[in-house]
Structure 1
């Protein structure tokens, strides 16, 4: 792909008192970018321009240049100055430049660069999207081993990506043009027919696109790239010139005071200066005497230069202190970690970083900086300040995705997702009936007025990863192209999948939809909705559409639903809120109870008066150990003995449990009593059902306690941080028991250990509470079926209400 930036809007303002109209130049001398013409008194020829450039270079002391370019400091503001003759011509209005250079960025080659386009797309650019004309639009591409990517799908991806970042307005720019290569594979008659077919097919694909005015699909240039004299290449060149003249800003005026600074930028580029601090650029501006731009004018100048593609300047807090003078340098920076295997470094430690990145789809900050210490990357970023700036730019532009909750404050993440590396597709059974079936709640966000940016799915996934880790299968994280699978806990999984203009979210319980926690469902929805809202704000701001009072919710519709007849049955959230039931296309009536979990009020502590308890199908299910914990915590000691009798335990059995587990506190004794009841029924070959628990609770007038066994405390979401998704260190687990009270049984259950394993620990470390707790922590870390994260440990400690949270927070969240 070639990015040819055309003439941008130039401000019609007189910043130095000398402005004149810009004349149109010969199209053969102009392809792109701004036209600098200041009065008609004198026109500089190319020779004149070279002469002025040589005079300018001669006027710059070598020592001062070395001081600027090597030491990155400016001790003398006049170190780089404009030659007095040039200044005089500017003041007299006699300076005129006839040539406008064109910057081209070529993406042909490595497919790893497919998702880095946002770094190079300019709002006023002309984009030539090229495909192999000898293969066609719909044949699977060999470069993508998954076998589902075609030229048509890649072109659609690029069109949507370009327009997502560039936005839309009355301006015709950007313009997208299509070119097919390998014309030399066809005879002349075949070539004309093929070109006609491609034109018709592309028209069919994009004619209904909402931004069709930016897409030129009525002409496909069929070129032979091996022949520099190919007439079709000349036709393409002429067409790009015609597009350049369509710029609304063509012929507008620009400030004379910009020219000295533009010449300085040009000179620094010629001396291979790639990055410079904003402070250094301001110092250069202040050295121009009569042509000094004030702060507002200086900022405006940088923004215009950025929009033209002449430099990269991001006017966002945290990344507005540096300027990339040579945007193509970013290609080399990306090449340090976004590259195919055949280009990996030879050193084993560096090659391992690349392998880990390709296997996991993520990279740590320390590994990234290690790659940047190589030559020639270190020449571009000579110190950590420049590296830190580039890191933040890559995060800003979605090249790196930072796991965060999208709340205010600087993230302390040390690991980043790299979407452009992730090529693997989700397995064919990712959402099959056998995998999720009727055990799943569905949530959908449907975009209404924006093309989905490529990195949207990864930003949403990164937001969820702050709380829930990626599931691993066969030693590989389940991160795929535009989809991911995460472990909410041992029994619940979360899937996120992009389907065209729709973001699909699936929450699946291992056993039944009846056992999904409404608190967990609501927390997932709140997390993703907040993330989506902030993501859309960023893209709208980038395209100039966002205003402070803009409600971005109008850019997407939220739907909820269930799996029905092996399909996703969705209904608008507003409709579910108004009606108790809805009838789907299969003539099935669905109740809103479970879909409403997505917007459940997590502040409610008890059931509403309208609650009828668990459904009949739910009562047929068996309670797990965590359910017994929730139940034991609720039932008062005064009625617990009577409750056990209704369950089927005798008074003597209860008294024996009190004696045996007296050291484990009231909750420990109640938990072991419920465990003994469960073992007693199983030993008599009787099923353990929630129905039995329900009947006993009704006998003691506590029937709604059963509804509460699905509740989860999610208040720790407020401190969720990517650092908490790491595995706790052994040294921390050694010290943690000293900060925890008597909660061995409950802690073990909350961490997913079985009653048998907990009993073994209590027997092996009799009367030693600290050793018991440490053994529980050790077993959890070694045997957990899902990643044993710090966040999971904090959740378990929160449920036990026995301390340790402050210790972990200070250990991992405080600098």
Structure 2
């Protein structure tokens, strides 16, 4: 036993030494809480290290700027109602249901405006999920883990699909093509294990689409009328590498110009790359190639059709995003205004996506002109012919 404990302590020190070396002299170091070197045995639910985690979380919470702020007393009855619903196994309700609960409050029901403020506040602190958006604002997710579990039933690691033939097939298809059909999702959610998602399937899928977990491609008929797609793209699941030879095609250099978006932070989070690819999937159609018309969608990369004579190759690397505009004949025919518009679209998308990530310090953030809400993930771009 003493030998085992010595080995654990040695491994603890090695791991934390590696972590400190990895982030030393970077803006991220100040965000790491490694002083106690917490090393949890996940196989032991009584592991005393869990008490250290609880203490650390509480200590960090008390240091947050909004700790100890006063809250309206009129919020408390609805918070208690939410806790009661969750304890009864109800993770999601409609806004109509909440309005009814609110109207039955004995002291003072919230007004419609106050109710919206209450929901947005609860959302901001992570207690509930409420999206005041078209098609989403009629539901409230009382337990955020319900949404996470819905995600995991579709977007997950292969090992969690073992033994479920249908989900294994689903995973294999997504890994190769990044595509999942709506019918397959409905089939999975008909399974007893995931039946709890089927009741509100349209809403949950709309939330996944809103968060760019799933992307519904745009389809139009000959008259320009929108046609509902029977599939979703899942950019984060694609593992296929680009073996098409597209970048090595004839006269590629003479037919293309490159726009490079360089990150000011240590690295670009993988989730940001996946969301950028999802954004492109939403805006532009994916190029197909080969006899089987295979989509040119790869791991953190893809080729999109801008117009009949112009394509765009997007490649997300650890420290930069590279966008290549490729003309069918020569790069001299790429219109400057169009290239500028595409650059503005990508810049705006990167800025909006980066706002979702935790604010980190950087050289830009120490600038007196740094704007409130700066994420620390700042992009600058260069255009090369």
TM-score range, shorter chain: 0.7 to 0.9
Return the match for 1:537 from 352, 356, 361: 352
Tell me how far 1:324 sits from its aligned partner: 0.9
Deviation at 1:309, TM superposition (A): 2.8
User: How far did 1:486 drift?
Assistant: 4.7
Q: By how many angstroms is 1:388 displaced? A: 2.4
1:504 and 2:322 aligned: yes
Residue number in structure 1 paired with 2:194: 377
Structure 1 partner of 2:363: none
Structure 1 alignment gaps of length 5 or more? 1-183, 562-594, 596-815
2:211 equivalent to 1:392: no
| Secondary structure, aligned partner of 2:381 | strand
Counterparts of 1:256 and 1:413 in 2: how far apart (Å)?
A: 46
Q: Is the 8 A contact 2:256 2:330 kept in 1?
A: no
Equivalent residues in 2 for 1:639-650, closer than 5 Å: none
Q: Where does residue 250 of structure 1 map in the other structure?
A: 67
Do 1:507 and 1:521's aligned partners in 2 also have CA atoms closer than 8 Å?
Answer: no
Counterparts of 2:106 and 2:114 in 1: how far apart (Å)?
Answer: 15
1:456 to 275, 280, 298: 275
Aligned counterpart, 2:365: none
Judge which range, 495-504 or 330-339, deviates more: 330-339
CA drift at 1:497: 0.5
Partner of 1:260: 77
Which region of structure 1 is more displaced relative to structure 2, 317-326 or 193-202?
A: 193-202
Count of aligned residue pairs for this structure pair: 362
CA contact (8 A) 1:199 1:218 kept: no
**Contact residue 463 and residue 528 of structure 1 kept, 8 A:** no
Confirm or deny: 8 A CA contact 1:464 1:527 kept in the other structure.
no
**Distance of aligned partners of 1:222 and 1:335 in 2 relative to their CA distance in 1, 3 Å threshold:** closer
Q: What secondary structure is seen at the aligned counterpart in 1 of 2:38?
A: strand
Alignment counterpart, residue 303 of structure 1, candidates 117, 120, 127: 120
Structure 2: how far apart are the matches of 1:308 and 1:484?
Answer: 36
| Cα 1:358–1:277 shift into 2, 3 Å | same
Tell me which of 515, 519, 524 is aligned to 2:330: 515
Shift of 1:539: 4.8
How far does residue 264 in structure 1 lie from its aligned partner after superposition? Answer: 1.4
Partner in structure 2 of residue 612 of structure 1: none
* Residues 679-758 of structure 1: pairs in structure 2 closer than 5 A: none
Residue 441 of structure 1 aligns to a residue in which SS?
A: strand
Provide the residue aligned with 2:136 in structure 1.
Answer: 319
Alpha carbons of 1:294 and 1:213: their partners in 2 closer, same or farther (altered >3 Å)? Answer: farther
- Asked if 1:441 is matched to 2:257, the reply is yes
1:150 maps to what in 2? none
Cα deviation digits, residues 160-196 of structure 1 (max 9, x gap): xxxxxxxxxxxxxxxxxxxxxxxx9984445444433
Q: Residue 257 of structure 1 aligns to a residue in which SS?
A: helix
Offset of residue 262 of structure 1: 1.5
User: How far 1:224 sits from its partner (Å)?
Assistant: 2.5
Matches within 5 A, 1:104-119: none
Q: Point out where structure 2 has 5 or more consecutive residues left out of the alignment.
A: 220-224, 360-371
2:40 to 223, 227, 230: 223
Q: How do 1:542-557 and structure 2 match up within 5 A?
A: 555-557=378-380
Deviation at 1:323, TM superposition (A): 0.5
TM-score w.r.t. the length of structure 1 is 0.39
2:115 and 2:134 map into 1 onto residues whose CA distance is 17
- Equivalent-residue separation in structure 2 for 1:538 and 1:233 (angstroms): 34
For residues 256-295 of structure 1, what are the structure 2 equivalents within 5 Å? 256-295=73-112
Q: Compute the displacement of 1:473 (Å).
A: 8.3
The TM-score with structure 2 as length reference comes to 0.76
Cα offset for 1:359? 3.0
> Do the aligned partners of 2:38 and 2:53 also contact (CA within 8 Å) in 1?
yes
Distance apart, 1:482 and its partner CA: 0.9
Residue of 176, 179, 195 corresponding to 1:362: 179
Partner Cα distance (2:321, 2:228) in 1 = 25
- Counting only pairs closer than 5 Å after superposition, residues 625-644 of structure 1 correspond to structure 2 as none
Deviations 1:603-629 (A, max 9, x none): xxxxxxxxxxxxxxxxxxxxxxxxxxx
Cα distance change on mapping 1:379 and 1:197 into 2, 3 Å: closer
Larger Rg: 1
The CA distance in 1 between the partners of 2:17 and 2:53, in whole Å, is: 19
Partner of 2:367: none
Alignment of 1:110-259 (within 5 A): 187-259=4-76
Which deviations, in whole Å up to 9, do the C-alpha atoms of 1:699-724 show, x marking residues without a partner?
xxxxxxxxxxxxxxxxxxxxxxxxxx
- Equivalence for 1:764: none
Distance 1:301 1:460, change over 3 A: closer
Counterpart-to-counterpart distance in 2, 1:195 and 1:367: 44
What SS class does the counterpart of residue 485 from structure 1 fall into?
Answer: strand
Bigger RCO of structures 1 and 2 (CA < 8 A, at least 6 apart) = 2
| CA-CA distance at 1:325 after TM superposition | 1.5
CA offsets 1:659-679 (integer angstroms, 9 cap, x no match): xxxxxxxxxxxxxxxxxxxxx
Q: Distance in 2 between matches of 1:436 and 1:499?
A: 20
User: Secondary structure at the residue paired with 2:44?
Assistant: coil
The 5 Å alignment of 1:552-591 reads 555-561=378-384
